[in-house]
């Protein structure tokens, strides 16, 4: 196939939107405002409330910042394409979108893994918890996660940007790195991207999933040996995190399924496939602040002081 120097990619996922696009824009606008308001509120509350400067809340703050970052990278672009008749995106913007969305996903997994380890220490080693999980150590760990995931995606996007393409049509609502690599003219060049992506993503997810699995296996073991009151307390502490984990990996599963194995979803309506493809970056950023804001009494009380009573938390 002959290679061409494309200056843009075409997002074919918008071709079946039809006359419902303004309804979708309205729904997404409401979701976007809700996401930005809820995440910013909780970030501000955690930052100004000294009583919340503890490991668990610092990790939550990183989670909310990442959710705000991921939704901002995706929502405005999708809304612009919905109201536009032209669904092309420049190569530079496409690579930037890949960087933002993929770093969001990797950092989200990293945050959830750290949260599971935090719960493991709090439940299984309560006497050592304050020594091991100090606010300073948590901040360093969060910075390491953000830095490593960003460097990883810089390398990934750099490998993609060097490719020559024999096509520029992507059957999705946003730029997907795997689908773009599939457009490469050179199979050997694409193989380098695929090998790097396979090894790096597997390493990230294996480390994170092992941390999560180890943490909850240990928590379950402790709970089975403990009293009913201890089990209820552990369940209450871990429920929001488990719900967030399940929701995020549910969205990631359908995103990967659509990108790499389209045949299982070929009988799905186009609207359903479109929603499932962006679920991980659209619903998760709203799910987290609502879930943790409702379940955690300290966060709920601090938000109430700011919103309802018009008082700032004690400094």
Q: How confident is the model at residue 315 (pLDDT cuts 50, 70, 90)?
A: very low
314: in domain? no
Residue 17 above 60 pLDDT? yes
Number of residues that make up the chain: 315
234 in a structural domain? yes
Q: What interhelical angle do 228-260 and 270-282 show, nearest 10?
A: 130
Is position 86 within any domain?
A: yes
* Residue 2 counted as domain residue: no
Domain of residue 201, CATH code: 1.20.1070.10
**pLDDT score of 313 more than 60:** no
In a domain, 230, yes or no: yes
Instruction: Please report whether residue 66 resides in a domain.
Output: yes
Could you give the number of structural domains in the chain? 1
pLDDT digits (tens, 9 = 90+) for 130-180: 888 999 999 999 999 999 999 999 999 999 998 888 888 888 888 888 889
Residue 285 lies in a domain: yes
Question: What is the extent of the structural domain holding 238?
Answer: 8-307
The rounded distance, in Å, linking the Cα atoms of 238 and 219 is: 9
- pTM (two decimals): 0.89
**Tokens linked to 224:** 């089975």
63-90 pLDDT, tens digit each = 999 999 999 988 888 888 888 878 889 9
- pLDDT at position 118: 92
In a domain, 3, yes or no: no
Residue-level pLDDT at 266: 65
């Amino acid at each position: 196939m002959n290679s061409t120097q494309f200056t843009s990619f075409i997002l074919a996922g918008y071709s079946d939107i039809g006359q419902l696009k303004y309804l979708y824009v309205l729904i997404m606008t409401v979701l976007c405002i809700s996401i930005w308001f809820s995440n910013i509120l909780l970030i501000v509350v955690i930052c100004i409330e000294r009583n919340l400067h503890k490991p668990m809340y610092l990790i939550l703050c990183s989670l909310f910042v990442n959710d705000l970052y991921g939704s901002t990278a995706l929502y405005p672009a999708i809304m612009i394409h919905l109201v536009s008749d032209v669904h092309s995106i420049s190569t530079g913007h496409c690579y930037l979108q890949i960087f933002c969305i993929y770093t969001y996903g990797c950092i989200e997994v990293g945050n959830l893994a750290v949260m599971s380890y935090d719960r493991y220490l709090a439940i299984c080693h309560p006497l050592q918890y304050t020594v091991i999980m100090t606010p300073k150590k948590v901040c360093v760990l969060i910075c390491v996660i953000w830095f490593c995931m960003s460097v990883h995606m810089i390398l990934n996007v750099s490998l993609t940007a060097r490719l020559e393409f024999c096509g520029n049509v992507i059957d999705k609502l946003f730029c997907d790195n795997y689908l773009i690599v599939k457009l490469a003219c050179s199979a050997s060049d694409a193989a380098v991207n695929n090998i790097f992506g396979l090894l790096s993503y597997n390493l990230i997810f294996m480390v994170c999933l092992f941390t999560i699995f180890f943490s909850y296996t240990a928590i379950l073991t402790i709970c089975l040996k403990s009293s009913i009151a201890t089990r209820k307390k552990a369940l209450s502490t871990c429920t929001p995190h488990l719900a967030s984990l399940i929701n995020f990996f549910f969205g990631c599963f359908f995103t990967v399924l659509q990108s790499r194995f389209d045949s299982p979803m070929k009988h799905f309506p186009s609207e359903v496939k479109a929603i499932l493809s962006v679920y991980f970056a659209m619903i998760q950023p709203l799910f987290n602040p609502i879930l943790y804001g409702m379940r955690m009494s300290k966060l709920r009380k601090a938000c109430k002081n700011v919103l309802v009573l018009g008082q700032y938390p004690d400094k």
